[in-house]
Amino acid sequence: MELRLITPGDAEATRRIYNAEVTGSTATFDLRPRSAEEHRRWVEAHLGAHPAVVAEVDGAVAGFASISPYRSRPAYATTVEDSVYVAGGWRGRGIGAALLADVVRRATEHGFHTVLARVEASNDASVRVHERCGFAVVGTERQIGRKFGRWLDVTVLQKLL
């Protein structure tokens, strides 16, 4: 497995992974798949201070992760939120943990102070991966989202860098 910064050439592969989560899971609270243009803009937004990385296995993108601004107000500038997505056929092989560790390392190098993760509460695997990477659960947001006809809670995890 090779971990590397995302490039514009990874847009379609990462869009497929993301859109599978939009339509088939609660890993993201998006309700509509991203268009190619929307995802291209997302990739461009993650080529600088808030990077995204991909995990490549045998020449194929198996997953990706990113850090994004937590909030737009200036006092939050040193806090970021992570996102990690692994393609269905590649789960359970340590790719998510490797991606998370890599974006946390990059967040530290970029001078951020706190990384937050907001995980749909029933996603035990994601909560465990974050805890293994040094995150601690700091709270639960109750019935904060609605998808697939049901209310969803979000577990909030935090890692101080």
| pTM of the predicted protein model | 0.95
List, for residues 87-145, the tens digit of each pLDDT value. Answer: 999 999 999 999 999 999 999 999 999 999 999 999 999 999 999 999 999 999 999 99
List, for residues 51-72, the tens digit of each pLDDT value. Answer: 999 999 999 999 999 999 999 9
Domains and CATH numbers, the chain: 2-160 (3.40.630.30)
**74: pLDDT confidence band, cut at 50, 70 and 90?**
very high
What are all long-range contacts of 118-122, with beta carbons under 8 Å and residues at least 24 apart? Answer: 118/81, 118/154, 118/155, 118/156, 118/157, 119/154, 119/155, 119/156, 119/157, 120/26, 120/27, 120/29, 120/145, 120/152, 120/153, 120/154, 120/155, 121/152, 121/153, 121/154, 121/155, 122/26, 122/153
